[in-house]
Amino acid sequence: MIDDMLRTPEAIRDAERWTAHNYHPLPVVITSAEGCWLTDVDGRRYLDCLAGYSALNFGHRHPTLIAAAHAQLDRLTLTSRAFVHDQFADFCRELAELCGKDLVLPMNTGAEAVETGIKVARKWGYQVKGVAPGRANIVVAEGNFHGRTTTIVSFSTDADARADFGPYTPGFTVVPYGDLAALTAAIDENTVAVLIEPIQGEQGVVVPPEGYLPGVRRVCTEQDVLFIADEIQSGLGRTGATFACDHEGVVPDMYLLGKALGGGIVPVSAVAADADVLGVLRPGQHGSTFGGNPLACAVATEVVRLLATGEFQRRSAELGDRLHAGLRSLLGRGLVAVRGRGLWAGLDIDPTLMSGREACERLAERGVLAKDTHGATIRLAPPLVITEAEIDHAVAQLAAVLAG
């Protein structure tokens, strides 16, 4: 009788009936949220430990970001790039300064930022490096996740992302992640860029060996190749620094940004680079109707200002230490590995106990939301506004799930 009164089962049935099955969500139907907490259609509350794959770094409905969105909604939401609007320059300037770069090119989704980076790198290769027409090559890493467009899945090594979407786009060489020797050997006279994630999120929050990123930087400089860092998930405070590259003092030639840049309100992405790289573009060669729209810029400018204080980077570093200490205490008690940096962790569950999906379902029953990937791995990425008590609560619920 009680189950018949719940709204969740019907809402899930309707979603499955009317949408393509490109996701396999947990059986939770959210209706409202604030900070780190979500409420479903039946009034149950959950601690969000996924944060929209890092799109909600500042939590749900951060008051500064909501205020900026409301104010802009009352004035202007879209002009297209046919005109300039009064929010555009401030956003581009402040983001460029945060990145330490000359220029910014705003787009919408993370995949668009990656596609933009690929196009810019190729054009730079032809116009600046002198690569023969049609020969440009980009070196990428196994286990990558840069998006799901046809070009991007062409160099994916994930069968689910890639299979049956060919013919595939040429121009990419895949090497093992974290293997500097293999990366170096793959570079030739036609290589225009190395495109990597400083930490591979979708793969299970995989951190490369110490010295790998500085090595990539050195090799790219020596070989006259652009170093493109996909910081769409790892950037903007997630790892305890503004960018994951910062942990090893590495500055790439190009940052690819997204997710948290929109404050969990609107999709915002961007490419940041110096003028000798982004300056190869000319009017009509690349664009987006909604890229850099007034609403997006108003929200994203406030995101940049929140990060400029350093508060969220510090919170991620300090609270991340607490999160990882708690998770490591579960090694040998159901967990076989813990990886990550800051408020970002990949957990490998003993596969003889349960799958990652089953663990996430049991966590949801206990009021904690996380996401599985690649079988027995769970990713945790709570909003950076989470408290010590909430971290302890999440770890305690995980411990209870692992204990059976």
Q: Give the residue numbers marked as catalytic.
A: 145, 230, 259
Q: How far is it, in rounded angstroms, from Cα 302 to Cα 320?
A: 24
The token pair at 274 is 């110096």
Q: How far is it, in rounded angstroms, from Cα 111 to Cα 358?
A: 29
Q: How far is it, in rounded angstroms, from Cα 339 to Cα 321?
A: 12
Three-state DSSP class for residue 402? helix
Q: How far is it, in rounded angstroms, from Cα 334 to Cα 218?
A: 40
Three-state DSSP class for residue 340? strand
Helix axes 356-365, 388-403, angle to 10 degrees: 120
* Closest C-alpha to 54, from 271, 263, 312, 335: 263
First vs last C-alpha separation in the chain: 27
Q: How far is it, in rounded angstroms, from Cα 391 to Cα 386?
A: 7
Q: What is the largest CA-CA distance in the chain?
A: 72
